[in-house]
Amino acid sequence: MKIFVITRFSYIANNDFKDMSSKHINEYKKILFNKNRLNEKFDAFKKITHPSIINQTYNNWMWFIITSKFLPDNYKKKLNDIINNNPRIKVIFSENGGGGFQNYKKHIVENENYATMRLDDDDGININLFKKLQTYDNSIYNNKYITFPLGQRYTIKNNKIVLGSKYNSPKIALGLTRINNYVYKTQHSKIPINNLIIDNFPNSYLLYCGNATHSKRKFH
């Protein structure tokens, strides 16, 4: 079963512009593309997110990274340098929340099951998670969401990865997967329990804690 990972990388979504004036949009871009914020994001992406995908023990996957057309050029280059022309990783520069999220459909193989997975640009997943997902390589799981609630906090201090406390969140967006359908169709917190499989695979993910996160979650 092929795994399609979808990551939003400092991405400006349509919802971000809803009811916003052009002045507020420009202010939002300044925050999103702030140098300190982007440097922190890139540090986490390079140290944790990117390695967690390319070192997977199951190799039938593609990764779609959706970012903004307005990402500063030096960071576009930095992102492409990290990707290093990996043919399984597609970077899509989108304008104001435009398309790109469902580009994976071009790569679906007829009569074969597939899965779509959410992954933020500063988190990481267990390198055996794609292999674990093969448990669900069966049409009986069509449209089901798979959530992996068990993980661990981490942060980066003095250029080193520091692991924190264990984390347990049954409907966490990190690593959320859907079988034979698009994972972003339903907000993760609103998935009906009868359409959700909770898989307590241990140490499923590393959850970033830092100033650049939208939630500003605490590290401990």
**Which stretches of the chain are DSSP H helices?**
14-17, 22-32, 35-44, 50-54, 73-83, 129-133
- Give the type of residue at 110: E
Q: What pLDDT shows up at residue 136? A: 98
Percent of the chain with pLDDT over 90: 71
**Topology at the third CATH level for domain 2-150+165-201:** Spore Coat Polysaccharide Biosynthesis Protein SpsA; Chain A (3.90.550)
Query: Phi, psi (5° rounding) for residue 194?
Result: -80, -5
**Encoded tokens for 170:** 């049954």
pLDDT at 197: 97
As beta bridge partners, residue 37 has: none
Please give, one letter per residue, the 3-state secondary structure of 56-89. CCCCCEEEEEEEECCCCHHHHHHHHHHHCCCCCE
pLDDT by residue for the chain (220 residues), tens only, comes to: 999 999 999 887 655 445 455 556 677 788 889 999 999 999 999 999 999 999 999 999 999 999 988 899 999 999 999 999 999 999 998 875 555 667 788 899 888 999 999 999 999 999 999 999 999 999 999 999 999 999 999 999 999 999 999 999 999 999 999 999 999 888 888 999 999 999 999 999 999 998 777 666 778 7
- Residue 215: predicted pLDDT: 60
Q: Are 122 and 41 a contacting pair, CB within 8 Å?
A: yes
What pLDDT score does 210 carry? 86
Cα distances (Å, whole numbers) of residue 168 to 44, 98, 149, 182, 200: 21, 33, 5, 24, 9
